[in-house]
Chains A and B, each alone.
Chain A
Amino acid sequence: MVKEFLKGNHAFAEAAIRAGVEAFYGYPITPSTEFLEHMARRLPSLGRAFVQAESEVAAINMVYGAACTGKRVMTASSSPGVSLMMEGISYIAGTEVPAVIVNIMRGGPGLGNIAPSQGDYYQMVKGGGHGDYFPIVLAPASVQEGIDSIALAFDLAEKYRSIVHVIVDGNMGQMMEPAELPPMREIPKEVPDWAVAGAKGRDANILTSIYIAPEDEEVTNLRLLKRWKEIEKNEVLFDEYLVDDAEILVIGFGTAGRVASSAIRDAREEGIKAGLLRPITLAPFPSQRLVELTKQVKRILVVEMNSGMMLDDIMKIVQGEIPIEFYGRMGGVTPLPDEILGEIKRVAANKEPGAEDPRDEWISRLEQLISGEK
């Protein structure tokens, strides 16, 4: 295989095809549309299913149906579309069937805009739909990592009969960079024993998310929770950059983490011992690694393209052991390496104890920055 110059959305869609996706059901929405377009071009000639649904609500319920047959199935959308899918996502979780959902995130809330954002962290990581369930969330930071994440997402979805979200901001869907696609995988022929395919020579299979007796629902909730505990134990993924001797730990995921790595390289040239922890699985979160690093570093700087959503999880893990600071851009604004470098330098010079809410000081700094930019 060779590296090609690939656009994120096309690359992720092609990665899914090569991972053996047998059905794609979706609805156009910027900045994810090229994903659907790629599937529309490719799937029919491969004899696989493609439907442009009437809405994201219908799309996710088509995914739900195909997931019940045990076939590899997925959809891709962007923030407002994923909001619409939350109904079906909850049903898929409750029925314990595997599905992969890609969210190319954009600015919000509401119609927001079509610029890159990480504002769906809460919605994706905390579940988003109703009821007790725990989705796996992968947050790749490059086109290559996105390609790899798609194949991994299907494997995890089937291993745990779980929803796997692959979330990237619009930058990653739209940008082109060199990446290598994997070879085409064989589509497995055997049907999982739980799937619906016609009750030939066996008892009927019933797939439902309804447990009308609370005692039965509780048993289901417990099963999902215990499965999640297994996932937390086995499936944590993260990347690190220059953390071995780091005194300042920058934490960021996706594009924010990647921009931060450029800033860290520059900070090192100025003699500041900064390093990066970049979670690849936002759920399960690399909590254990963060606890270890908390014992080593002096301060933490969380960088996000939202109002500090992952920040909340990090504060819960760090428990006030060391000061945490925050730098975020919102609304579809991508931070530049120089902005983050400035923050690293400021954090390195700051000897004050940590604020109760790291957002408070950030808000006034951001207001100054915005008025300066105008």
Chain B
Amino acid sequence: MVSTTAEVIYQRPESFTDVHTHYCPGCTHGTAHRLVAEVIDEMGLREKTIGVAPVGCSVFAYNYFNMDFVEAAHGRAPAMATGIKRVLPDNTVFTYQGDGDLASIGMAEIMHAAIRGENITVIFINNAIYGMTGGQMAPTTLPGMKTTSSPFGRDVETAGHPVRMAEILSTIDGSSYIVRRSLHNAANIRKSKKAIRLAFEAQERGLGFSMVELLSSCPTNWKLTAQEALDFVSDEMVPVFPLGDYKVSPTLASLKV
């Protein structure tokens, strides 16, 4: 009789619920969710974490994370997170927001959460479009990009240029860790996870506001296949939204994760 030993090298994170998501095939929300769940598991934070879900495609995020969660009004997740964190400073509080939620209707709330240096973590999904309402123009929509509310392409003369949130938030003194990553391939997914880890490390060290912007795909509303959508992220979005570290607190810079 031959005895064998098996080592678990890959499994569902405890911070993840065992359900199917409502996300479209090829959408990167699932990847982003998983990275957050893995980081929370690895840091042992699940039992003290409170998530704040947004309005948009990830409105039901609370169904996929196995932890306490609240569901905010559109754009108000950073305010709601502030309200929670100020009365429960020892808990870990994060928001998960899309581009319409964070950079349009919630612009005031995200800016002032950073200005106050709120010790929260923000996961920002930038896919350059409103997904849940069926593909309207977002503040991050690329110039010339066709959406249902910019049917002839985003005209920068009348609708302005895409807003770069990581760059803006990096100028704010209350920010501790502000980076942009992408989810378009395995190498970038690994870098994204490391960034998410550092963002939560920033919060655990009380360093102040942290945000990871994740360039994401929306094949359904971009009307592309899953692979074409990932190519669109790397070929079209990355040039407009350069990947990089926009602000890294010195405490984090020396941290090995």
Contact = CB atoms under 8 A, between A and B. Distances in A.
Contacts of B80: 61-62, 64-65, 68
Interface stretch (A108-116, A194-202, A341-349): A194-202
B116 interface: yes
Nearest to B55: A210
A49 interface: yes
B83 A61 contact: yes
A207 B108 contact: no
A57 B108 contact: yes
A291 to B, nearest CB: 40
Contacts of B224: none
A54 interface: yes
B67 A61 contact: no
A68 B71 CA distance: 10
B204 interface: no
Nearest to A59: B79
B66 A65 contact: no
Main secondary structure of the interface of B (DSSP, over half): helix
B112 A58 contact: yes
Contact of A206 (B69, B76, B79, B82): B69
Contacts of A55: 108
Given A58-B79, A88-B76, A196 B86 contact: no
Contact of A54 (B47, B81, B91, B112): B112
Contacts of B248: none
Interface string A46-63: 000101011101110111
* Best-buried of B46, B48, B59, B68 by chain A (most CB within 10 Å): B68
B109 A69 contact: no
Contact of B68 (A58, A71, A201, A204): A204
Contact of A62 (B62, B70, B82): B82
Contacts of A67: 83
Contact of A22 (B65, B87, B112): B87
A153 interface: no
Contact of B108 (A58, A66, A73, A205): A58
B173 to A, nearest CB: 16
A23 interface: yes
Contacts of B84: 65-66, 68-69, 196
A64 B69 contact: no
B68 to A, nearest CB: 4
A87 interface: yes
A61 B112 CA distance: 13
A123 interface: no
A262 interface: no
B83 A54 contact: no
Interface in B74-103: 76, 79-84, 86-88, 91
B129 interface: no
Contacts of A196: 50, 68-70, 84
B196 interface: no
A301 to B, nearest CB: 42
A200 B79 contact: no
A209 interface: yes
B79 A199 contact: no
B71 A62 contact: no
A65 B79 contact: yes
A91 interface: yes
Interface in A61-85: 61-69, 71, 73
Contacts of A53: 79, 112
A147 to B, nearest CB: 24
Interface in A151-196: 196
B50 to A, nearest CB: 5
A7 to B, nearest CB: 27
A206 B48 CA distance: 14
A189 to B, nearest CB: 13
Contacts of B145: none
A220 to B, nearest CB: 14
Given A58-B108, A62-B79, A197-B50, 6 more contacts: A22-B87, A69-B88, A198-B47, A198-B68, A206-B70, A208-B53
7 contacts: A51-B86, A63-B83, A64-B83, A198-B67, A199-B67, A204-B65, A208-B70
